[in-house]
Amino acid sequence: MEKTKKIRVLVLYDSIHGNTEQVAKTIHKVVVTANLDSALVKITESAKLNFDDYDLIFCGSPVIEWLPTAILMSFIKAKLKEHRAKRDVLPCAPLKTGKFAVCFGTYCGAHIGVKEATPMTESFFWHIGYSVIDKLHLPGQMRRPDIDKAIEQENNIEGIFGNIIGRPNQNDLQAVETYTVGILRHIGAIS
Protein backbone atom coordinates (compact mmCIF):
# COMPACT_ATOMS: atom_id res chain seq x y z
CA MET A 1 0.00 0.00 0.00
CA GLU A 2 1.41 3.35 -0.96
CA LYS A 3 0.07 6.61 0.34
CA THR A 4 -0.77 9.34 -2.12
CA LYS A 5 -2.15 11.99 0.23
CA LYS A 6 -1.69 12.37 3.96
CA ILE A 7 -5.06 12.37 5.65
CA ARG A 8 -5.97 12.28 9.33
CA VAL A 9 -8.20 9.46 10.44
CA LEU A 10 -10.26 9.10 13.61
CA VAL A 11 -11.63 5.73 14.69
CA LEU A 12 -14.17 6.65 17.36
CA TYR A 13 -16.16 3.89 18.97
CA ASP A 14 -17.95 2.50 21.96
CA SER A 15 -18.17 -1.12 22.97
CA ILE A 16 -19.66 -2.83 26.00
CA HIS A 17 -18.51 -6.41 25.55
CA GLY A 18 -15.65 -6.03 23.07
CA ASN A 19 -17.21 -6.93 19.70
CA THR A 20 -17.24 -3.42 18.27
CA GLU A 21 -13.82 -2.81 19.79
CA GLN A 22 -12.39 -5.65 17.72
CA VAL A 23 -13.75 -4.04 14.57
CA ALA A 24 -12.46 -0.59 15.58
CA LYS A 25 -8.98 -1.96 16.33
CA THR A 26 -8.90 -3.76 12.99
CA ILE A 27 -9.79 -0.57 11.12
CA HIS A 28 -7.14 1.37 13.06
CA LYS A 29 -4.50 -1.28 12.34
CA VAL A 30 -5.16 -1.08 8.60
CA VAL A 31 -4.94 2.73 8.61
CA VAL A 32 -1.67 2.69 10.56
CA THR A 33 -0.26 -0.02 8.27
CA ALA A 34 -1.08 2.28 5.36
CA ASN A 35 1.22 4.82 7.03
CA LEU A 36 -1.57 7.28 7.72
CA ASP A 37 -2.27 9.12 10.98
CA SER A 38 -4.97 7.35 12.95
CA ALA A 39 -6.40 8.11 16.39
CA LEU A 40 -8.22 5.22 18.02
CA VAL A 41 -10.58 6.60 20.66
CA LYS A 42 -13.01 4.69 22.84
CA ILE A 43 -15.65 7.20 23.82
CA THR A 44 -15.87 8.39 27.41
CA GLU A 45 -18.00 11.08 28.98
CA SER A 46 -14.98 13.37 29.19
CA ALA A 47 -13.61 12.73 25.67
CA LYS A 48 -12.19 15.86 24.05
CA LEU A 49 -12.25 15.70 20.28
CA ASN A 50 -12.49 18.17 17.45
CA PHE A 51 -13.97 16.48 14.40
CA ASP A 52 -12.59 19.26 12.19
CA ASP A 53 -9.12 17.82 12.87
CA TYR A 54 -9.99 14.66 10.91
CA ASP A 55 -10.60 14.01 7.23
CA LEU A 56 -12.00 10.51 7.62
CA ILE A 57 -14.00 9.51 10.69
CA PHE A 58 -15.00 5.93 11.39
CA CYS A 59 -17.69 6.06 14.06
CA GLY A 60 -18.85 2.79 15.59
CA SER A 61 -21.10 1.42 18.27
CA PRO A 62 -22.90 -1.71 19.30
CA VAL A 63 -26.65 -1.50 18.75
CA ILE A 64 -28.26 -1.15 22.15
CA GLU A 65 -32.01 -1.16 22.01
CA TRP A 66 -31.95 -0.04 18.37
CA LEU A 67 -29.55 2.82 18.93
CA PRO A 68 -25.87 3.55 19.54
CA THR A 69 -24.83 3.47 23.21
CA ALA A 70 -26.12 6.26 25.45
CA ILE A 71 -22.59 7.65 25.94
CA LEU A 72 -21.95 7.83 22.20
CA MET A 73 -25.37 9.39 21.57
CA SER A 74 -24.89 12.07 24.20
CA PHE A 75 -21.41 12.82 22.85
CA ILE A 76 -22.80 13.17 19.32
CA LYS A 77 -25.65 15.38 20.56
CA ALA A 78 -23.17 17.63 22.38
CA LYS A 79 -21.11 17.82 19.17
CA LEU A 80 -24.20 18.80 17.20
CA LYS A 81 -24.75 21.67 19.62
CA GLU A 82 -21.12 22.73 19.30
CA HIS A 83 -21.21 22.64 15.48
CA ARG A 84 -24.53 24.54 15.48
CA ALA A 85 -23.00 27.23 17.69
CA LYS A 86 -20.22 27.82 15.16
CA ARG A 87 -22.71 27.92 12.24
CA ASP A 88 -21.43 24.65 10.89
CA VAL A 89 -24.90 23.12 10.57
CA LEU A 90 -26.46 24.86 7.61
CA PRO A 91 -29.64 24.48 5.61
CA CYS A 92 -29.15 21.92 2.82
CA ALA A 93 -26.02 20.65 4.66
CA PRO A 94 -23.42 21.58 2.02
CA LEU A 95 -20.73 18.92 1.78
CA LYS A 96 -17.16 19.83 2.68
CA THR A 97 -14.24 19.05 0.44
CA GLY A 98 -12.24 16.03 1.56
CA LYS A 99 -14.33 15.20 4.63
CA PHE A 100 -15.68 11.67 4.90
CA ALA A 101 -17.30 9.40 7.46
CA VAL A 102 -18.03 5.71 7.72
CA CYS A 103 -20.49 4.49 10.35
CA PHE A 104 -19.95 0.99 11.64
CA GLY A 105 -21.46 -1.21 14.25
CA THR A 106 -22.06 -4.67 15.56
CA TYR A 107 -25.45 -6.03 16.48
CA CYS A 108 -27.22 -9.30 16.89
CA GLY A 109 -30.05 -8.45 14.50
CA ALA A 110 -31.96 -11.54 15.55
CA HIS A 111 -35.41 -10.11 15.00
CA ILE A 112 -35.30 -7.71 12.06
CA GLY A 113 -31.78 -8.06 10.65
CA VAL A 114 -30.04 -4.98 9.28
CA LYS A 115 -33.05 -2.74 10.01
CA GLU A 116 -31.98 -3.06 13.63
CA ALA A 117 -28.75 -1.18 12.87
CA THR A 118 -29.68 1.50 10.38
CA PRO A 119 -30.24 4.71 12.39
CA MET A 120 -26.82 4.84 14.11
CA THR A 121 -24.90 8.12 13.76
CA GLU A 122 -25.06 8.70 10.01
CA SER A 123 -27.39 11.72 10.12
CA PHE A 124 -25.07 13.69 12.36
CA PHE A 125 -22.13 13.45 9.95
CA TRP A 126 -24.27 14.51 7.00
CA HIS A 127 -25.41 17.50 9.06
CA ILE A 128 -21.84 18.75 9.49
CA GLY A 129 -21.01 18.33 5.81
CA TYR A 130 -19.18 15.00 5.96
CA SER A 131 -20.01 12.66 3.14
CA VAL A 132 -21.02 9.35 4.73
CA ILE A 133 -19.49 7.08 2.16
CA ASP A 134 -20.62 3.84 3.71
CA LYS A 135 -22.03 1.95 6.66
CA LEU A 136 -20.65 -1.35 7.89
CA HIS A 137 -22.73 -3.48 10.21
CA LEU A 138 -21.52 -6.87 11.37
CA PRO A 139 -23.25 -9.50 13.46
CA GLY A 140 -21.91 -9.70 17.00
CA GLN A 141 -22.71 -12.31 19.61
CA MET A 142 -25.12 -10.94 22.18
CA ARG A 143 -24.04 -11.08 25.82
CA ARG A 144 -26.85 -10.03 28.11
CA PRO A 145 -26.55 -10.95 31.75
CA ASP A 146 -29.78 -8.98 32.29
CA ILE A 147 -32.02 -11.36 30.33
CA ASP A 148 -32.95 -15.01 30.53
CA LYS A 149 -30.08 -17.26 29.35
CA ALA A 150 -32.45 -19.19 27.05
CA ILE A 151 -33.57 -16.00 25.30
CA GLU A 152 -29.98 -14.82 24.91
CA GLN A 153 -29.13 -18.22 23.37
CA GLU A 154 -32.19 -18.12 21.08
CA ASN A 155 -31.14 -14.69 19.76
CA ASN A 156 -27.58 -15.93 19.17
CA ILE A 157 -28.61 -19.10 17.34
CA GLU A 158 -32.04 -18.73 15.74
CA GLY A 159 -32.04 -15.15 14.49
CA ILE A 160 -31.93 -13.81 10.94
CA PHE A 161 -28.15 -14.33 10.72
CA GLY A 162 -28.28 -17.89 12.07
CA ASN A 163 -25.63 -18.89 14.58
CA ILE A 164 -23.64 -15.79 15.55
CA ILE A 165 -21.76 -17.29 18.50
CA GLY A 166 -18.15 -16.08 18.39
CA ARG A 167 -18.83 -13.32 15.88
CA PRO A 168 -17.24 -11.13 14.81
CA ASN A 169 -14.85 -13.98 14.02
CA GLN A 170 -11.54 -14.11 12.15
CA ASN A 171 -13.32 -14.16 8.78
CA ASP A 172 -15.33 -11.07 9.73
CA LEU A 173 -12.21 -9.22 10.83
CA GLN A 174 -10.36 -10.24 7.67
CA ALA A 175 -13.27 -8.78 5.71
CA VAL A 176 -13.02 -5.58 7.76
CA GLU A 177 -9.33 -5.32 6.76
CA THR A 178 -10.09 -5.67 3.07
CA TYR A 179 -13.03 -3.32 3.40
CA THR A 180 -10.94 -0.62 5.11
CA VAL A 181 -8.27 -0.78 2.42
CA GLY A 182 -11.09 -0.22 -0.09
CA ILE A 183 -12.34 2.83 1.81
CA LEU A 184 -8.83 4.34 1.89
CA ARG A 185 -8.43 3.73 -1.85
CA HIS A 186 -11.88 5.09 -2.59
CA ILE A 187 -11.08 8.48 -1.06
CA GLY A 188 -7.62 8.56 -2.65
CA ALA A 189 -5.70 8.23 0.64
CA ILE A 190 -3.71 5.29 -0.77
CA SER A 191 -3.21 4.04 -4.28
Ligand X SMILES: Cc1cc2nc3c(=O)[nH]c(=O)nc-3n(C[C@H](O)[C@H](O)[C@H](O)COP(=O)(O)O)c2cc1C
Which of 2, 45, 65, 148 touches ligand X by CB under 6 A?
65
Beta carbon of residue 155, minimum distance to ligand X (angstroms, whole number): 8
Spatial contact of 139 and 161, defined as CB atoms under 8 Å apart: yes
Least Å from the CB of residue 106 to ligand X: 3
Hey, how many other C-beta atoms are within 10 angstroms of the C-beta on 191? 10
Residue 26 interacting with ligand X (CB under 6 A): no
User: How far apart are CB 160 and ligand X at their closest, in Å?
Assistant: 9
Residue 68 engages ligand X in binding (rule: CB under 6 A): no
- Over the window 99 to 128, marking each residue x when it contacts ligand X by CB under 6 A and - when it does not, the resulting string is -------xxxx------x------------
Report which of 182, 167, 177, 169 is spatially closest to residue 26, judged by C-alpha positions.
177
Strand partners, 159: 162
Q: Which residues of 14-49 are buried (b: 16+ CB within 10 A; e: fewer)?
A: bbeeebbbbbbbbbbbbbeebebebebeebeeeeee
Cβ atoms < 10 Å from Cβ of 66: 13
Give whichever of 95 and 112 is closer to ligand X, judged by the CB atom.
112
State the minimum distance, in angstroms, from the CB of residue 167 to ligand X: 8
The residues facing 10 across adjacent strands are 39, 57
Task: Pick the closer one to ligand X by CB: 3 or 144.
Answer: 144
x/- binding map, residues 138-167, to ligand X, per CB under 6 A? Answer: --xxx-x-----------------------
In angstroms, rounded to a whole number, what is the distance separating the alpha carbons of residues 23 and 105? 8
Q: Looking at beta carbons, which residue is closest to ligand X?
A: 140
User: Rounded to the nearest whole angstrom, what is the least distance from the CB of residue 178 to ligand X in the complex?
Assistant: 20
User: Can you say how many angstroms the Cα of residue 78 is from the centroid of all Cα atoms in its chain?
Assistant: 18
Residues that bind ligand X (CB under 6 A): 15-21, 62-66, 106-109, 116, 140-142, 144
